[in-house]
Amino acid sequence: MASATGDARRRADAVAKVYAARGNQPLWVEGDHYSAKAKAVIARLADAVEDGLNPVDYALPEAELSADTTELVANADLRVSMAVATFAEQASGGRVAPRSISKDITRTPERIAADTALATVADAIDVAAALEGFNPSTDGFRRLKAMLAEVRATKDSAEPAPEPVALVKSLKPGMSDDGVPALRKRLGLAAPAEGIEPALYDDALVAAVEAFQKENGLTADGVVGARTLAVLNGAHRDVEGEIIANMEMWRWMPRDLSQDYVFVNIPEFKVRVVRNGQQVHEARVVVGKTANQTPVFSGEMQYLVVNPYWHVPESIKIKEMLPAIQADPAGYFARHGYEVTWDGQLIDPTRVIWDENAVKAVGIRQVPGEANALGNIKFMFPNKHAVYLHDTPLRSLFNRDVRAFSHGCVRVDDPMAFADAVLQGDPEWTVPKLRAMFGGAERRVDISTHLKVHLAYFTAFVDEAGKLQLRDDIYGHVQAIKKALGMSQV
């Protein structure tokens, strides 16, 4: 992350150029006092906490100016300009450099330049609205900002956390457990009717558990396992800090998501397709495990590949495949449907002396078919991370609540429904035409309308019903942002 001193120097140079271009005439001082616009700027930036920012960063002057010399007036004017420029950069692009959080976050925030910021505010009729406009206009950001205000307003009056529910073991419908009465109380259900065993996990309680699971992004199966119990007991979270950290990540996102796009929220394990600004598809996904994280960036989907080969990444070849290959080269490749290539040509794996150098030098690919790791189709948005969305033969993983199992790519549940949403309005390609190609040779399918693809990471978001949703910080990005911002790490 660039140093604070370096950022301040760069902003100061940019602001100095603005003054030079206007003959060093003041922007905010009229005679011996601040203009009405300057006072409006100072008042609005003093409330930057509402934006999830810190007014201390802007070194705000007093709203009243008392100056006897030209030098003092010039300095006072400059302080307001520097505050505007700093706020504009932070509000539009964040306070933290994304790559300082993780090498896998490769966004480049679109920061508003100092000259643009000063011109926008100086020419504005409504100064507060102009400053507000430096924040992202995306629904996700605006909802979190509103929720931040709500959380702060209710913080002092919040009720203490309920007593935790303790169960002897995973609770399934029809079972009994001494923790059932506490579970019933936690979910707001009255005691069972007379004659019904208090410890029985009955139908009414099962329905309440399923509703809770659905509301919190869990598998609504009515089974109170370790995951449901953990969410139910609500281990303490710094909700205010988490909202602010997620607002920071919204500032890293493109300012225009586009009217047509694919949106993967990694901690939520969900993908959504939006067409003409409206969501048309939602599905579960499997994302990268902690050791092989799905990167955070935006790209553009350009084509699909039907009956894809899986070209094994070097890290997997070395760390996971090499020992098994060395033990039985011919058998290993035959069992798994792998081929070895050299300079684009197939070679006999038994003729390779298998060591780390050899496995780096040759290509290993899995042939198309039912056992192929990519399934029948993959969705391509070329990027330096070499990740994409794809089908998978491992369907059972989609039934889990935590779905971080891949090597970085995103596995999509019901890939043909996803393809249907992606191909909406395509003049040439349809799902039936794609299915007709299954089982043949690998084939590239160029799509007529490219879609923006956003691989995002939001652990806090407000759903359509206005409820704050929280998900686990599976990669630790939120914790790292809070640390970088000097916030509590509770």
**So where are the chain's domains?**
4-135, 162-235, 252-478
| pLDDT at site 181 | 86
Q: Which residues are CB-contacts of 449 (< 8 A; sequence separation ≥ 6)?
A: 260, 425, 426
Q: Is the pLDDT of residue 236 over 70?
A: no
| pLDDT at site 74 | 77
Q: Is the pLDDT of residue 70 over 70?
A: no
Active-site residue among 281, 390, 454, 477? 390
Q: Are 236 and 226 in contact (CB under 8 A)?
A: no
Give me the helices (H) in 308-401, please: 314-316, 322-327, 329-336, 356-361
Give how far Cα 279 sits from Cα of 211, 272, 276, Å. Answer: 23, 7, 8
| pLDDT at site 311 | 93
CATH topology classification for 162-235: Muramoyl-pentapeptide Carboxypeptidase; domain 1 (1.10.101)
| pLDDT at site 5 | 67
| Range of lowest pLDDT (122-126, 168-172, 307-311, 390-394) | 168-172
From CA 102, how far away is CA 249, in angstroms rounded? 12
Residues 338-360: pLDDT tens digits? 999 998 899 999 999 999 999 99
Q: Please compute Rg for the chain using Cα positions.
A: 28
Residues 410-422: pLDDT tens digits? 999 999 999 999 9
Residue 427: pLDDT band with limits 50, 70, 90: very high
Residue 490: pLDDT band with limits 50, 70, 90: very low
Residue bearing tokens 């936690």: 186
Which is nearest to 410 in space by CA: 366, 418, 112, 225?
A: 418
CATH class, 252-478 region: mainly beta
| pLDDT at site 203 | 86
Which is nearest to 121 in space by CA: 160, 86, 156, 71?
A: 86
Backbone angles phi, psi at 82, to 5 degrees: -65, -35
Which is nearest to 240 in space by CA: 156, 349, 355?
A: 156
| pLDDT at site 418 | 98
| pLDDT at site 177 | 87
| pLDDT at site 68 | 54
Three-point CA angle 280, 397, 378, nearest 5°: 55
Residue 364: pLDDT band with limits 50, 70, 90: very high
| pLDDT at site 1 | 43
Structure tokens of 437?
């190609």
pLDDT, mean of residues 64-70: 60
| pLDDT at site 213 | 83
Give me the helices (H) in 235-383, please: 239-252, 314-316, 322-327, 329-336, 356-361
The set of long-range contacts for 148-151, using a CB threshold of 8 Å and a minimum separation of 24, is: 148/50, 148/52, 148/240, 148/243, 148/244, 148/247, 149/50, 151/239, 151/240, 151/243, 151/468
Which is nearest to 164 in space by CA: 267, 233, 229?
A: 233
From CA 324, how far away is CA 318, in angstroms rounded? 10
Q: Which residues are CB-contacts of 25 (< 8 A; sequence separation ≥ 6)?
A: 19
Q: Are 373 and 392 in contact (CB under 8 A)?
A: yes
Q: Is the pLDDT of residue 3 over 70?
A: no
Residue 2: pLDDT band with limits 50, 70, 90: very low
| Range of lowest pLDDT (60-74, 98-112, 126-140, 231-245) | 60-74
Same fold, 162-235 and 252-478: no
Residue bearing tokens 């078919």: 369
From CA 290, how far away is CA 87, in angstroms rounded? 34
Give how far Cα 49 sits from Cα of 108, 173, 240, 349, Å. Answer: 24, 47, 11, 62
From CA 305, how far away is CA 407, in angstroms rounded? 19
Determine what percent of the chain is predicted with pLDDT higher than 70: 95
| pLDDT at site 66 | 63
Residues 286-336: pLDDT tens digits? 999 999 999 999 999 999 999 999 999 888 999 899 999 999 988 898 888
H-run or E-run covering 390? strand 389-390
Which carries the bigger pLDDT value, residue 9 or residue 431? 431
From CA 299, how far away is CA 313, in angstroms rounded? 20
| pLDDT at site 406 | 95
Residues 439-465: pLDDT tens digits? 999 999 999 999 999 999 999 999 999
pLDDT, mean of residues 205-217: 85
Give how far Cα 267 sits from Cα of 214, 294, 473, Å. Answer: 16, 10, 7
Active-site residue among 281, 409, 454, 477? 409
- The verdict on whether 454 is a catalytic residue reads no
H-run or E-run covering 33? strand 33-34
Q: Is the pLDDT of residue 488 over 70?
A: no
Q: Which residues are CB-contacts of 185 (< 8 A; sequence separation ≥ 6)?
A: 162
Residues 182-201: pLDDT tens digits? 888 888 888 887 777 888 88
Residues 275-289: pLDDT tens digits? 999 999 999 999 999
Which is nearest to 359 in space by CA: 407, 319, 302?
A: 319
Which carries the bigger pLDDT value, residue 274 or residue 209? 274
- The verdict on whether 409 is a catalytic residue reads yes
pLDDT, mean of residues 480-487: 94
